Amino acid sequence: MNEIPIIENVLKLNDDVAADNRRRLNELGVFTIDLIGSPGCGKTTLLEQTLRRLSGEYNIGVIVGDLATTRDAARLHRWCEHIVQINTDRGCHLEAHQIRRALDRLDVERLDILIIENVGNLICPVGFDLGQDVKVGMFSVTEGDDKAAKHPHLVCLADLILLNKVDLAGAVLFDEAQFNSDVARLNAEVPVMKIDAVHGRVDPWLEWLRNSGLSHRHTMTEAMLG
Amino acid sequence: MNEIPIIENVLKLNDDVAADNRRRLNELGVFTIDLIGSPGCGKTTLLEQTLRRLSGEYNIGVIVGDLATTRDAARLHRWCEHIVQINTDRGCHLEAHQIRRALDRLDVERLDILIIENVGNLICPVGFDLGQDVKVGMFSVTEGDDKAAKHPHLVCLADLILLNKVDLAGAVLFDEAQFNSDVARLNAEVPVMKIDAVHGRVDPWLEWLRNSGLSHRHTMTEAMLG
């Protein structure tokens, strides 16, 4: 009887801090994304493209989670000044209190969009609310067409699914129909967007980000005026 | 002061059960491997090739961990009758008590080699002893050449590093020298083997398995005779 109450307390504490983060970010009108995917699915490459293409339009902040190294943050720093790296050592996911501390290190007031690049892991980050507005689940074709079916909790909770490295789909015999039907069975609402981040083919994602970010700011402004 | 003692108890309990598993498997002369890698790095494809090529020489058992689905076990069942699937639901790694229960479902007495395909995750499985003789860390070039540096705990603990999908190294601009130097910095002893499992180019791995498995059985037999 010892373990489960403790685990619940940890999650409850996390959720309380996440709610604080969400309130703070919403009051400032910062549209916040929790980006979850495998190691090497292309999260950092996607963010490089995103910053390169959108940094003239929006102030974008990035919080990067990794066990070790600051390589991702260094890659992104070329395009963006609002970056915090969180090194988790053995930690397999980010938690809300880490985001709270990271927010203190960012000029949050100046941001339009905040993207949290979670630790590369399709499992553990899913259960931890960080205070984000949306969760984005990212897969790549080189991981295989069975990965949506094998990670149902992420697919069920995701507001958007990105499928990256589609230029390699032929080389790895990726069965797109299988992947799409697994996603649809688990979450009938969630859109799936095919991208090829390394070659800059990320237009649907940028469009989604523009629309979601804009509509979010609009809703927040109305809520505050009303 | 509440959390850390509990976590230590969980790990201590796991280690005790792992020691039991190890004793049981060693007494039976079963060479046991804990195979750890990202989702989609090619673990199941490697096992398909291994079973296809070695099942005439050895009795090989496989324990497969996954959050959901029995797709991996179904793929392997074509080549092997000694298979147990463990579905962890939200569990991000296998633990020793799950292996103990799986051993009860296998004809362990008849096995020469047992391969445990851990849940696709480069982080959480690393800290949990299952009772294996060796840990094998598996990466694929499509994940990027920074993945050894980003997962130092796995590299430090691994007895062998497999680098899969080397046929795609050019397409994804994989920097092999960077990868190798990161591995060598973290673990000067560990061999790195390049393979291409989907096209059956896995000879170095099969040779390693033959040598390790044989020398293991030999050592165990001598220990029992002595």
pLDDT tens digits, residue range A86-135?
Answer: 988 888 899 999 999 999 999 999 999 999 999 999 998 998 999 999 99
Chain B residues whose CB is inside 8 A of the A147 CB are: 39-40
Residue to substitute from B4, B9, B38, B70, interface A, most A β-carbons within 10 A: B38
CB contact under 8 A, B124 and A124: yes
Question: At B65, is the secondary structure helix, strand, or coil?
Answer: strand
Q: What is the pLDDT of residue B54?
A: 95
Q: What value does the mean pLDDT take over residues A60-74?
A: 90
Helix boundaries (H) for B39-165: 43-54, 71-77, 96-104, 147-150, 152-157
Residues of A whose CB is below 8 A from B164:
none
- Which alpha helices (H) appear in B113-195, and where do they start and end? 147-150, 152-157, 176-186
Sheet holding A134-140, edge to edge: A83-87, A60-66, A113-117, A31-37, A134-140, A160-164, A192-194
CB neighbours (10 Å) of residue B222?
9
Tell me, what's the pLDDT at B5? 43
Q: What pLDDT does A8 receive?
A: 53
- Model confidence over B164-210: pLDDT tens digits? 999 999 999 999 999 999 999 999 999 999 999 999 999 999 999 99
pLDDT tens, position by position, B6-62: 445 667 889 999 999 999 999 999 999 999 999 999 999 999 999 999 998 999 999
Q: Yes or no: say if B157 and B129 are a contact pair by the CB < 8 Å rule.
A: no
Closest to B66 measured CA to CA, from A154, A138, A123, A183: A123
CA atoms within 13 A on the CB side of B197: 23
Judging contacts by C-beta atoms under 8 Å, the chain B residues touching residue A165 are 142
Contact B69 A150 (CB under 8 A): yes
Give the mean model confidence (pLDDT) for residues B57-74. Answer: 90
Minimum distance, in Å, between the CA of residue B140 and any CA atom of chain A: 9
Greater confidence (B12 vs A161) lies with A161
Q: What is the pLDDT of residue A116?
A: 97
Q: Do A165 and B144 touch (CB under 8 A)?
A: no
Give the pLDDT confidence score for residue A2 in this predicted structure: 36
Is B40 in contact with A144 (Cβ distance < 8 A)? yes
CA distance B219 to chain A (A): 34
> If pLDDT is split at 50, 70 and 90, which confidence band does A6 have?
very low
A143/B38 Cβ within 8 A: yes
C-alpha–C-alpha distance, residues A111 and B134, integer Å: 48
Rounded to a whole number, what is the distance in Å from the CA of A127 to chain B's nearest CA?
9
| CA neighbor of A118 nearest in space, from A184, A75, A165, A72 | A72
Q: What's the pLDDT tens digit per position in A164-195?
A: 999 999 999 999 999 999 999 999 999 999 99
Residue B104, classified by CB atoms within 10 Å of its CB into exposed (0-12), middle (13-18) or buried (19+), is exposed
CA distance A219 to chain B (A): 34
Half-sphere exposure of A151 (CA within 13 A, CB side): 32
- All residues of chain A having their beta carbon less than 8 Å from the beta carbon of residue B150 are 39, 66-69, 71, 120
DSSP string for residues in A70-90: SHHHHHHHTT-S-EEEEE-TT
According to the model, what pLDDT value does residue B90 have?
80
The residue with greater pLDDT, A192 or B223, is A192
User: What digits encode the pLDDT tens for the residues B104-142?
Assistant: 999 999 999 999 999 999 998 998 999 999 999 999 999
- Give the DSSP letter of residue B166: G
Give this complex's ipTM: 0.77
- For the ranges A8-12, A27-31, A197-201, the lowest mean pLDDT is seen at A8-12
Subunit contact A150:B2, Cβ cutoff 8 A: no
Banded pLDDT at A7 (limits 50, 70, 90): very low
Contact state of A68 with B3 under an 8 Å Cβ cutoff: no
